[in-house]
Structures are given as C-alpha cells and as structure tokens.
Structure 1
Amino acid sequence: MDWLAQWWDGVELWLVQLPVALQFPVVMIVILPLCLGVARLIDRVADWGAKDKGAVVEEIDEPEKVPA
C-alpha cells in the first residue's frame, strides 16, 4: 500500500502546483462523475430500502366529481 500512498502524494502535489484556472476543471472532471455515481448509488439503496416487500398497496377512492 506504500506505492498507493506515494502515487496519491504525487498526484496531490501535481494538482496543488497547477494554476487555479487549471485546478478547477481537473477537479470537476474527476469529482463530478464520482459524486454523481455516489448519489445514484445512495438513491438506489434508499429506494431498495424503502420498498416494503410484504406491504399491500391500497388504492384510494377518488371523490366523485361534481359538474360545474
């Protein structure tokens, strides 16, 4: 795992030394897809957890419409 830490330190040092005008697009290209993927994963897990597999969905009767 030492190689991973050294690689990460090199990437971090490279990124910090870039001008801010280049840091922003580089970070957005990496962070946006990563955050989108995590958000989708959380959404799917929440949807899966919210489903009650034993529950029966009851239909609600709509009130009768009165002509105007």
Structure 2
Amino acid sequence: MTNYLSTKEVAARLSVSIKWVQQAIVAGELPASNMSKGKRPSYRVSEDDLTAFMESRAVTGIEGG
C-alpha cells in the first residue's frame, strides 16, 4: 500500500517551505495527486515519488579535500 504525504510533511522532510513544494508540484518537477474535490487543491505526494525526486537531485562525485 502506498503511503502519501501532505505538502507540509514533504516540506519538513526536504527542509523547505510548503510554498516551495507546491511550486515544484505545479511546475511538474515533483509528482503529486490532487485529493481535493473542490476548487482549492489538496496535494499528496507518494513516498516513492518523493524518494525518486530526492535521488534525482542528489549531489554525487564530490571529493573531500
């Protein structure tokens, strides 16, 4: 079963603002589902999509010096 996170939970995990998460969703950078039936969106992000998003933005190959 897929676990879904609110934009607030995603923001806390990424150490960014909720607004940043919402902008990433609207821009199509972070996959999300709109769970709202009204006019105002209520986005949820699956844990798998968040993990993939974080891995795609991971910095690798930096040598310590």
Q: Which structure has more RCO (C-alpha within 8 Å, separation ≥ 6)?
A: 2
TM-score for the superposition, normalised by structure 2: 0.27
Structure number having the greater helix percentage:
1
Structure number having the greater strand percentage:
2
TM-score for the superposition, normalised by structure 1: 0.26
- Pair member with larger Rg: 1
